[in-house]
Amino acid sequence: MAVLEQLGVGADTIGILFVAFTIAIYALIGWLSRTMEVDAYYVAGRQVPAVYNGMATAADWMSGASFVALAGGVYFGGYGYMAFIVGWTGGYVLVNSLMAPYLRKFGCYTVPDFIGTRYGGNLARLCAVIVLVVASFTYVTAQINATGTIAARALHIPFSYGVWFGLLGILLCSMLGGMRAVTWTQVAQYIVLIIAYLVPVIWMSNAQGFGIIPHFTYGEAASTMAQLEAQYGLNPPAEAIAGLSVLTTPHTGPVGDYAEWKFITLALCMMCGTASLPHILMRYFTTPTVRSARKSVAWSLLFIFLLYFTAPALATLTKLQLLDPNLPTAIIGKPFEEVASLAWIQNWASVGFLAIADQNGDGILQLNEFFMRPDIVVLATPEIAGLPYVISGLVAAGGMAAAMSTADGLLLAIANALSHDLYYKIIDPKADTAIRLIVARVLLVGIGALGALIASLQLTGILGAVAWAFCFACSGLFFPLALGVWWKRANRAGAVAGMAAGFTAGSLYLYYVYTGGTPWFGIDHLRFGIVGMAVSLVSMVVVTLLTPAPDEEIQRMVEETRVPTGPAILSAKH
């Protein structure tokens, strides 16, 4: 690709080639892994080695939100948004110690499978399916939104077509081979996305004199930032522009009412959400043993960590590119006309993602006169820093990989829950294998199409929708899953109460805050999971204690779950 740029091939062509080429590879892998076996379709035959499962989980995990929106959130939201970073890594400690090894021992295909068998009864299973579908669906629309944004920019097609184009790529990967195909495409997608994320940061760091591994040396940049912020002043704009932000939040420390509390509650929602999101948990059903399930959690976190500990570096260095008067790329404090004539400013402004306005009329671009959509920070960074266009193509391909891989996992989680738990376990337990797998695929396409339709309406931003998905998941599922293993006394009535009350309370609180209610103690719409989880825990414990303990057989089952060796609780062909 770099050679093509030397040869004078147009920038747009390079972008298109990059995105198209990587999608073709994923589709090829998907085609090669096609399967008609239940075990291979749902859990990849339980043969995925820990390291590869770790990579696949990392790709599954790092969504369009992590890749495209997170560094932008940190860029504009400053310190407060770093709660996402802490939350999305710390959650794996909970996955590893509370959930993954035990669910693997259980031998289930889906998360509701565990709830349905541990607590018994279709009502519990149904509650779990509902929570799962709502959480995952919220999440998947954000991902399809991200693929649409990137496809629109790289391929120069309208956003509403870009969404459908993205969906096509996603379905190619997952439809034929189910979990097995998704696993191997996700391994490829991880490699693409991590390279695409690291290259621009390393390049910028070199140019700014922080060496090739910026992570340990950009400390000075973080300190300089505080001085630059003081120098330019963090003021709201004279006149706001809808959908775009100016920089008003300091980079390194908490500010405002409840700042620390807000940070902790957001991080906590993200962590418990991590431990209850089904597309992540079901990845650990694919390993051969309990020990390798644990090992693959450790690998997952290591691979995920590589991106998250780069994100604040990217946000800091990009901000410095724009602010530091010693760098040639700085625009703040420069004459307005000069900035307005820059190519990257014009490119992004023409699609409405960026704006500059000389609102105080002094002919100089002030910090509060530079408007930008937070979601584009990562995508625009190569251009801001003056890197060759081939890097922009790489970043677009990486963002595409991140969004597609997560959407794959989520669509599969939804379709599997509906086909296995709702259709096979509740509606038609006699359905044979071929029909079950056909139902699963039809659902996959149907849900994907619905997701694309909703994404094309652009109801919310990417990061906001993702935070909601985590809050839905932890409101409904965290305690029923964790206590299912860790509290033998937990029974069916308690679990149903925990799921129903937690999920309902969380949703109502979201509705209350979102429609203009005053948040309690700063718990706004991004962190409504705190309310949901509290209600879920209390109602689950109270109802459990008011009703009889589960029978001998269930208690025996819980004990079996806690021991790594021996046969799985559910047989292989359940």
Partner 1 sequence: MSANNADDVRDRYWAKTRNLTIVVLALWAFFALVIPAMVSTLNQFTFLGFPFGYYMIAQGSLIAFVVIIWVQNWRQDAIDDEFGFGEEE
CA 262 to chain centre: 20
Is residue 98 a contact residue for partner 1 (CB under 8 A)?
A: yes
Is residue 298 a contact residue for partner 1 (CB under 8 A)?
A: yes
Is residue 85 a contact residue for partner 1 (CB under 8 A)?
A: yes
**Binding footprint of partner 1, residue count (CB under 8 A):** 53
Asked if residues 170 and 500 have their Cβ atoms less than 8 Å apart, the reply is no
- The CA distance from 43 to 416, in Å, is 10
**How many CA atoms within 13 Å lie on the side-chain side of 574?**
18
Is residue 216 a contact residue for partner 1 (CB under 8 A)?
A: yes
Is residue 47 a contact residue for partner 1 (CB under 8 A)?
A: no
Among 117-125, 218-226, 403-411, 431-439, the segment contacting partner 1 (CB under 8 A) = 218-226
List the structure tokens of 442: 């039809």
Among 163, 268, 277, 385, binds partner 1 (CB under 8 A): 268
Is residue 512 a contact residue for partner 1 (CB under 8 A)?
A: no
Is residue 295 a contact residue for partner 1 (CB under 8 A)?
A: yes
In DSSP terms, which residues pair with 313 in a beta bridge?
Answer: none
Asked if residues 371 and 247 have their Cβ atoms less than 8 Å apart, the reply is no
- The CA distance from 149 to 162, in Å, is 7
> Quick one: which of 372, 395, 454, 456 has its CA closest to 159?
456
Q: In sequence order, what are the residues at sequence separation of 6 or more whose Cβ sits closer than 8 angstroms to the Cβ of residue 568? A: 105, 106, 107
Is residue 90 a contact residue for partner 1 (CB under 8 A)?
A: yes
Asked if residues 400 and 151 have their Cβ atoms less than 8 Å apart, the reply is yes
Q: Compare residues 142 and 485 and give the one whose CB is closer to partner 1.
A: 485
User: Which ranges constitute the DSSP H helices of 156-289?
Assistant: 159-174, 178-208, 219-232, 259-274, 278-281
Q: Kindly state the smallest distance separating residue 539's Cβ from partner 1, in Å.
A: 23
Q: Compare residues 173 and 266 and give the one whose CB is closer to partner 1.
A: 266
Q: Compare residues 487 and 512 and give the one whose CB is closer to partner 1.
A: 487
Asked if residues 425 and 116 have their Cβ atoms less than 8 Å apart, the reply is yes
Among 41, 263, 479, 503, binds partner 1 (CB under 8 A): 263
Q: Compare residues 37 and 559 and give the one whose CB is closer to partner 1.
A: 559
Q: Compare residues 266 and 414 and give the one whose CB is closer to partner 1.
A: 266
Q: Kindly state the smallest distance separating residue 251's Cβ from partner 1, in Å.
A: 8
Q: Enumerate residues 157-196 that contact partner 1 by CB under 8 A.
A: none
B/e letters for 107-118, b = 16+ CB within 10 Å, e = fewer, are: bbbbbbbbbbbb
Is residue 267 a contact residue for partner 1 (CB under 8 A)?
A: yes
Q: Compare residues 34 and 215 and give the one whose CB is closer to partner 1.
A: 215
- The CA distance from 92 to 115, in Å, is 21
Q: Compare residues 290 and 543 and give the one whose CB is closer to partner 1.
A: 290
> Quick one: which of 529, 422, 435 has its CA closest to 475?
529
Phi/psi for 213 (5° steps) reads: -115, 95
Among 84-92, 229-237, 363-371, 396-404, the segment contacting partner 1 (CB under 8 A) = 84-92
Cα dihedral 66, 319, 350, 164, rounded to 10, equals: -10
Single-letter amino acid code for the residue at 44: A
> Quick one: which of 153, 197, 119, 147 has its CA closest to 561?
119
Q: Compare residues 287 and 539 and give the one whose CB is closer to partner 1.
A: 287
Helices (H) and strands (E) in the chain, counts: 26, 2
Is residue 292 a contact residue for partner 1 (CB under 8 A)?
A: yes
- The CA distance from 156 to 175, in Å, is 27
Q: Enumerate residues 345-364 that contact partner 1 by CB under 8 A.
A: none
3-state secondary structure of 245: strand
Is residue 253 a contact residue for partner 1 (CB under 8 A)?
A: yes
Among 97, 122, 160, 460, binds partner 1 (CB under 8 A): 97
Among 37-45, 210-218, 321-329, 378-386, the segment contacting partner 1 (CB under 8 A) = 210-218
Asked if residues 115 and 126 have their Cβ atoms less than 8 Å apart, the reply is no
Q: Draw the binding track, 220-249, toward partner 1 (x: CB under 8 A; -: no contact).
A: x-xx--x-----------------------
Is residue 557 a contact residue for partner 1 (CB under 8 A)?
A: no
List the structure tokens of 200: 């621009």
Is residue 294 a contact residue for partner 1 (CB under 8 A)?
A: yes
Is residue 66 a contact residue for partner 1 (CB under 8 A)?
A: no
Q: Compare residues 186 and 561 and give the one whose CB is closer to partner 1.
A: 561
In DSSP terms, which residues pair with 567 in a beta bridge?
Answer: none
Place of tokens 């994923």: 26
Place of tokens 């209600």: 535
Q: Compare residues 51 and 351 and give the one whose CB is closer to partner 1.
A: 51
Is residue 487 a contact residue for partner 1 (CB under 8 A)?
A: no
Among 20, 28, 86, 570, binds partner 1 (CB under 8 A): 86
Q: Which residues bind partner 1 (CB under 8 A)?
A: 79, 82-83, 85-87, 89-90, 92-94, 96-98, 215-217, 219-220, 222-223, 226, 251-254, 260, 263-264, 267-268, 271, 288-292, 294-295, 297-298, 301-302, 305, 308-309, 312-313, 559, 562-565
